[in-house]
Copies of this chain bind each other. A is one copy, B any other.
Amino acid sequence: MRMAELSRESGVPVATIKYYLREGLLPPGERTSPNQARYGDGHVRRLKLVRALLDVGGLSIASVRDVLDAIDSGVHTHDTLGIAQRRIPLPTAQADDETRGWATAVVARIAAERGWKVTPGSPVVESLIGTLCTFASLGRTELVDRISDYADLAERTAEVDLDSVRGMSTMESVVEGAVVGTVIGDAMLMTLRRLAQQQVSARRFPRTG
C-alpha cells in the first residue's frame, strides 16, 4: 500500500509516519519510484506498536527505538523478560549516602524475607532504591512501611505475568509480547489500581445522606 493508505489503516497521520521513518522507528517501504514507496501489513502492525509504546506506555522516542531493536534481533530465550526489562527505562532518583543506605537495607530485608535474589547495582534494584529514597526525601514513608505487603502482591502479579508469557511462546515475537505485557501491562495495572482504590475508598467511607 502507499503512504496515504498506510496512514488510513494505522490511523497515524502522514507527517507523523514520515517522522517515525526519519527516526528509525519504522523500516523504509519498498521503493517503487524516486518519490514513492510501498508499505505492507508489517508496517501497519509496527505503527500500532510504536503508538502504543509512545502514547499508552509513555516511552520516549529513544526508548521505543531501543525496544524495537530488541524485538527485531529475534531472540527467543527464557530470558525474554530480561531482554524486555533491560530496554524499558525505569525511573531513577538521586539521594544522599545516608538515605541510600537506609533504602538499600529495606530492599535487602524484603529480599531476605521472600527469598528473592537481588543483584546489587542492577537497574531494577537501583530504581527501587531510588523510589524509596524519593519517599524518604519527601518525608512520606507510609508506603515503604508496608513494602512487605506490596512485595507479596508484586510476586503474585509476576506469577500471573509469567503465565501470560508462556501463552505467548507460539506468537510471532516473544520479545514483543514481553515488551507489550510489561509496558502496556503497567498502564493496565495502574488504572486497575485507581479503580480499585475508588471501590475500597467508597466501602470504607460510605457517603451518608
Q: A130-B56, A131-B184, A205-B78 are in contact. Are A194 and B85 (CB under 8 A)?
A: yes
Which residues of chain A from 33 to 86 have a CB within 8 Å of any chain B CB?
45, 48-49, 52, 55-58, 78-79, 81-82, 85
Q: Is A15 an interface residue (CB 8 A)?
A: no
Q: Is A155 an interface residue (CB 8 A)?
A: yes
Specify how many copies of this chain sit in the oligomer. Answer: 2
- What's the least CB distance linking A157 to chain B, in Å? 5
A4 at interface, CB cutoff 8 A: no
Measured CA separation A194–B186 after assembly (Å): 10
A169 CB to closest chain B CB (Å) equals 10
Q: Find chain B residues with CB under 8 A from A146 CB.
A: 160, 163-164
User: Does A187 sit within 8 A of B, measured CB to CB?
Assistant: yes
> Is A132 close to B, CB under 8 A?
yes
| Given A124-B191, A137-B52, A191-B90, also A197-B153 (CB < 8 A) | no
Contact residue among B116, B150, B188 (Cβ-Cβ distance under 8 Å from A128):
B188
Q: A90-B191, A117-B202, A191-B124 are in contact. Are A151 and B52 (CB under 8 A)?
A: no
Cα A49 to Cα B199 with chains together (Å): 28
Q: Judging by beta carbons under 8 Å apart, are B155 and A196 in contact?
A: yes
Across-interface contacts of A78 in B (CB, < 8 A): 201, 205
B52, A200: Cβ atoms closer than 8 Å: no
Residues of B within 8 A of A185 (CB): 143
Find chain B residues with CB under 8 A from A2 CB: none
From 136 to 160 in chain A, residues with beta carbon under 8 angstroms from any chain B beta carbon are: 137-140, 142-143, 145-147, 149-151, 153-160
Q: Which residues on the B side are within 8 Å of A81 (C-beta)?
A: 197-198, 201
Pairwise interchain contact A198-B164, C-beta atoms closer than 8 A = no
A128 CA to B151 CA in the complex, in Å? 24
The chain B residue sitting closest to A148, CB to CB, is B160
9 pairs of A and B residues whose beta carbons are closest in the complex: A158-B196, A154-B192, A78-B205, A154-B196, A142-B164, A128-B191, A56-B91, A131-B188, A158-B200
